[in-house]
Amino acid sequence: MKKIIIITLLFLIPQLSMAALINEMQTCQGLIEHIDKKLDETGSKYDKNAVKKVRNGLEGYNQYIQREIVTPGLLQFNGGDQSKTKKMQEQVDAYKKTIAKRYDLTYPQNEIFMNHAMAVNECAKQAVPSGQELEDLKEALNLMVEFAQ
């Protein structure tokens, strides 16, 4: 009996870990959505070229999260069932919007704060892109820190 429970747990732990990571990454995607909105609202407060670089870095990171973590994780969680995965993705998208709205309420000002950069950095610690996506994300973070000062 103990063996069956241990074997079952060994199969469940990776799924639970993947589910936790997907949940964290949904939060990160909601944060990115919030920051993108803040960049729209700041008008001419920040240099347009710098804003474009921040957007580029964050969008690349958002795509990385979706492509490398969320989509394959949901597919794996649903045993490869595309229909179930699509429905679950809709739930993920709704949750991301809820997260973005929470950030909007917490940060109603039309500016980027150090907390934004720190939160994106925390996301990047959990899911690190590579190559150009990483370089673009680093540049975005550095610019966000400048915006916050």
List of long-range contacts for 134-139, beta carbons under 8 Å, 24+ apart? 136/53, 136/56, 136/57, 136/60, 136/61, 137/57, 137/58, 137/60, 137/61, 138/57, 139/53, 139/57
pLDDT grade for 15, boundaries at 50, 70 and 90: very low
Q: Is the pLDDT of residue 79 over 90?
A: no
Q: Is the pLDDT of residue 9 over 70?
A: no
Reported as a single tens digit per residue, the pLDDT across 40-76 is: 988 778 999 999 999 999 999 999 999 999 999 999 8
pLDDT of residue 61: 97
pLDDT grade for 21, boundaries at 50, 70 and 90: confident
Q: What is the pTM of this model?
A: 0.84
The whole-number average pLDDT for the span 22-35 is 93
Distance CA(23)–CA(62), nearest Å, equals 14
The tokens describing 35, both together, are: 């920051």
The whole-number average pLDDT for the span 4-22 is 54
| Helices of type H across the chain | 2-41, 48-65, 71-77, 82-106, 114-126, 131-148
pLDDT of residue 8: 43
Q: Is the pLDDT of residue 121 over 50?
A: yes
Mean pLDDT across the chain, nearest whole number?
87
pLDDT of residue 6: 43
